[in-house]
Chain A
Amino acid sequence: MLSAASTMVLAVDAAPNPWFDPSYVSGNWSSILPLLGEHVRLTVGAVLLGTLLAFPLALLARRSRWLAGPVLGFSTLIYTIPSLAMFAFVAPVTGLTATTVLIGLVLYSLVILVRNFLAGLQSVPADVREAALGMGYGKARTLWQVEVPLALPSIMAGLRVATVSTVALVTVGVIVGHGGLGQLITGGFAANFYRAEIVTGALGCVLLALLADLLLAGVGRALTPWSRGARS
C-alpha cells in the first residue's frame, strides 16, 4: 500500500505548496524577525563602514593622479571577485560569524562608494574652489562647506547603489549561516522546496532594497533643497 501511493505521485506534487502564503509569514513571524534584523544590521553596518573608509580614500585619490590609478585598479579587482569566493577568503580567518559577511560586504560597498565620491569631488568646478579660496576659506572649510555639498548628488547616488546591492548580497552570507533573509531562501529550498518560505525571503529582500532606496532618495532630496526647482 505504501508503494501504491508513492509510485506515481511525489510528495512535492501531492501536498499543496503555494507560492504565496500569508499564514506562513504570520505563523513564523518570530523566526523571520531576527533574520530581518540581521539583514538590516549587516546592510547598515557595511554601508556605514564603507562610507567611513571610502571618504578618506577618495580624498587621497583626488590629491594625486599617482594614487588614483592604484586605488581604482585595486577596487576593480575587488569588484571582479565573486562574493562566494570573497566570503570563502575571509571565513578561514573570522570563522562562521556575521563578521565574515560584514567584511566582504564592506569591501564591495567600498568600491562603489570610492568611485562615486571621487566622481562627485572631481565634478566641483575649479572656479568655485578658487572663489572659496579667495573668500578666505581654509582647506577643511572649503571641503565641508563647498565641495561636499556640491558633490552630494553623486555621493547620494553612490550610497543608493551601494545600499541596494548590499541588501541583495547579504543573501550570499548563507554560506556561513548569516545570510539574513537569505536563510529563508535556502531554508525553504532545503525544506523540501517549501515555496512560501523561499518567496517570503526573496520578496523580503526586494522590498527591503526598495524601502532603503526610497529612504535614501528622500534624504538626498532633503539635503539638497537647491536642486529641487531646477530638476523639472
Chain B
Amino acid sequence: MNLLQDAVRYLNDPFNWTRANGIIELLVQHLRISALAVLAAMAIGIPVGALLGHTGRGGGFAVALSNVSRAVPTLALLTVFAVTPIGFGPNATTIALALFAVPPVLTNTYVGFRGVDRDVVEASRAMGMSGRQVLLRAELPLATPLMMTGVRTAAVQVVATATLAALVAGGGLGRIITLGFRQQDYGAVLAGALVVAALAVLTELLLAAVSWAITPGEKRVPFARVRPRRAAVAGAAAPR
C-alpha cells in the first residue's frame, strides 16, 4: 500500500528523528510527562488506597471514584487545565494525566489490601506486630501483585493519553499525528500512529515484566491466565 510506504519512508528518514521537534525529542517529552504523572498518581493513590484497605473503610468511595473518572473525557480535563492560570504546556498535561492515573492505582491498592486474608492479619497481630508492622510487613507484600497491576494499568493509560495533549497544543508524540492531519500528510499520520501504538504496547510488556520480577512469592507468567474477575473489574481502565 502506498500509504504504508510513505509511513516507512517517514520513519526511515534520520532527519525526522533527530531534528528539533523530531521523534526523539517528542519521545523524551512524552516519557517525562508520563513518568511524572504516574509518580504523582502513585504518591497519592498508594497511601490513600493502603489506608482505606487497611482500615476497611471507604470501599464505596474507591469504586465510585473509578466509575466517575471513566465518564470524564480526558480531552475535557486537558483543555480545562490549559485555560486556567496554569496555562497550556507540560504542566497542565502532567496534572490532568496524574488525575486520571489516580483511580486505577487507588482502587487496585484498596482491593489488594482489602483482599488480604483476615487470618493472616490476625496471626500477625497475635505475634505482637504493631498496626504499622502489620501494614508494612504482612499486608504490603500480599497486596503487591494487585498494586502493581494498578500501577501498570495507570502507566499504560497515561502513556496512551499523553498523545491527546497534542490536541490542545501540548507536547508529546501525538504532535506527529495532529501535524500530519493538518498538513494532510497521511504517511506521517500513519507513522505517528505506529510510533505511539508501539510505545503503548512496549510499556505494557515492560511493566508486566517488571511487576513479574518484583512480585514476591510464587511466580506466574503474565498474560498466561485471565486475572481474577473481581480485581479486573475494579481496576479496569477506560480506553483513552
A residues with CB within 8 A of B: 72-73, 76-77, 79-86, 88-89, 91-92, 108, 111, 115, 119, 157, 161, 164-165, 167-169, 171-172, 174-176, 179, 182, 185-186, 188-189, 193, 195, 198-199, 201-202, 205-206, 209-210, 213
Take A84-B164, A88-B189, A186-B168 as given contacts and tell me if A206 and B72 are in contact as well, using a CB distance cutoff of 8 Å.
yes
Task: Tell whether, in the assembled complex, residue A82 and residue B71 are in contact, meaning their CB atoms are under 8 Å apart.
Answer: no
Task: Tell whether, in the assembled complex, residue B189 and residue A205 are in contact, meaning their CB atoms are under 8 Å apart.
Answer: no
Task: Tell whether, in the assembled complex, residue A82 and residue B75 are in contact, meaning their CB atoms are under 8 Å apart.
Answer: no
- Write out the residue numbers on chain A whose beta carbons fall within 8 Å of the beta carbon of B94: none
Say which size band chain B's interface belongs to.
35 or more
Provide the main secondary structure of the chain A interface. helix
Task: Tell whether, in the assembled complex, residue A199 and residue B160 are in contact, meaning their CB atoms are under 8 Å apart.
Answer: no
Task: Tell whether, in the assembled complex, residue B71 and residue A80 are in contact, meaning their CB atoms are under 8 Å apart.
Answer: no
Task: Tell whether, in the assembled complex, residue B83 and residue A186 are in contact, meaning their CB atoms are under 8 Å apart.
Answer: no
CB nearest neighbor in B for A91? B189
- Write out the residue numbers on chain A whose beta carbons fall within 8 Å of the beta carbon of B239: 79, 83, 108, 111, 165, 169
Q: Could you list 12 A-B pairs, sorted by A, with CB under 8 Å? A: A84-B163, A85-B177, A85-B192, A89-B197, A91-B189, A165-B239, A171-B75, A172-B73, A189-B79, A199-B80, A202-B77, A205-B76
Q: How far is the CA of A76 from the CA of B204 in the complex (A)?
A: 10
Q: How far is the CA of A204 from the CA of B80 in the complex (A)?
A: 14
- Write out the residue numbers on chain B whose beta carbons fall within 8 Å of the beta carbon of A91: 181, 186, 189
**Which of these, A89, A167, A175, A210, contacts B190 with CB under 8 Å?**
A89
Task: Tell whether, in the assembled complex, residue A172 and residue B82 are in contact, meaning their CB atoms are under 8 Å apart.
Answer: no
Take A79-B239, A84-B196, A85-B196 as given contacts and tell me if A189 and B160 are in contact as well, using a CB distance cutoff of 8 Å.
no
**Which of these, B189, B196, B226, B232, contacts A82 with CB under 8 Å?**
B196
Interface check B161, CB cutoff 8 A: yes
Count, A-B residue pairs, CB within 8 A: 151
Could you give, for residues 189-207 of chain B, a 1 whenever the CB lies within 8 Å of some chain A CB and a 0 otherwise?
Answer: 1101110110011001000
User: Chain A's nearest CB lies how many Å from the CB of B29?
Assistant: 16
B81-104 residues at the A interface, CB under 8 angstroms: 82-83
Task: Tell whether, in the assembled complex, residue A189 and residue B168 are in contact, meaning their CB atoms are under 8 Å apart.
Answer: yes
- Write out the residue numbers on chain A whose beta carbons fall within 8 Å of the beta carbon of B193: 84-86, 88-89
**Which of these, B75, B190, B233, contacts A174 with CB under 8 Å?**
B75
**Which of these, A88, A176, A205, A210, contacts B192 with CB under 8 Å?**
A88
User: Chain A's nearest CB lies how many Å from the CB of B178?
Assistant: 7
**Which of these, A76, A172, A176, A210, contacts B71 with CB under 8 Å?**
A210
Task: Tell whether, in the assembled complex, residue B164 and residue A172 are in contact, meaning their CB atoms are under 8 Å apart.
Answer: yes
Query: What are the 6 closest A-B residue pairs judged by CB atoms, nearest first?
Result: A202-B76, A88-B193, A82-B160, A209-B71, A165-B238, A85-B193
User: Chain A's nearest CB lies how many Å from the CB of B79?
Assistant: 5
User: Chain A's nearest CB lies how many Å from the CB of B240?
Assistant: 6
Take A73-B223, A168-B73, A168-B238 as given contacts and tell me if A186 and B200 are in contact as well, using a CB distance cutoff of 8 Å.
no
Task: Tell whether, in the assembled complex, residue A82 and residue B240 are in contact, meaning their CB atoms are under 8 Å apart.
Answer: yes
User: Chain B's nearest CB lies how many Å from the CB of A150?
Assistant: 15
**Which of these, B3, B167, B192, B204, contacts A186 with CB under 8 Å?**
B167
Task: Tell whether, in the assembled complex, residue B186 and residue A185 are in contact, meaning their CB atoms are under 8 Å apart.
Answer: no
- Write out the residue numbers on chain A whose beta carbons fall within 8 Å of the beta carbon of B240: 82-83, 169
User: Chain A's nearest CB lies how many Å from the CB of B162?
Assistant: 8
Q: How far is the CA of A182 from the CA of B168 in the complex (A)?
A: 12
Task: Tell whether, in the assembled complex, residue B3 and residue A92 are in contact, meaning their CB atoms are under 8 Å apart.
Answer: yes
Task: Tell whether, in the assembled complex, residue A165 and residue B70 are in contact, meaning their CB atoms are under 8 Å apart.
Answer: yes
User: Chain A's nearest CB lies how many Å from the CB of B174?
Assistant: 6
Task: Tell whether, in the assembled complex, residue B177 and residue A175 are in contact, meaning their CB atoms are under 8 Å apart.
Answer: yes
User: Chain A's nearest CB lies how many Å from the CB of B194?
Assistant: 8
Interface check B109, CB cutoff 8 A: no
Q: How far is the CA of A79 from the CA of B232 in the complex (A)?
A: 14
Interface check B108, CB cutoff 8 A: no
Could you give, for residues 139-155 of chain B, a 1 whenever the CB lies within 8 Å of some chain A CB and a 0 otherwise?
Answer: 00000000000000000
User: Chain B's nearest CB lies how many Å from the CB of A87?
Assistant: 8
Take A82-B240, A85-B193 as given contacts and tell me if A198 and B80 are in contact as well, using a CB distance cutoff of 8 Å.
yes
- Write out the residue numbers on chain A whose beta carbons fall within 8 Å of the beta carbon of B79: 185-186, 188-189, 198, 202
- Write out the residue numbers on chain B whose beta carbons fall within 8 Å of the beta carbon of A82: 159-161, 163-164, 174, 196-197, 200, 240
CB nearest neighbor in B for A205? B73
- Write out the residue numbers on chain B whose beta carbons fall within 8 Å of the beta carbon of A195: 83
Q: How far is the CA of A119 from the CA of B233 in the complex (A)?
A: 11
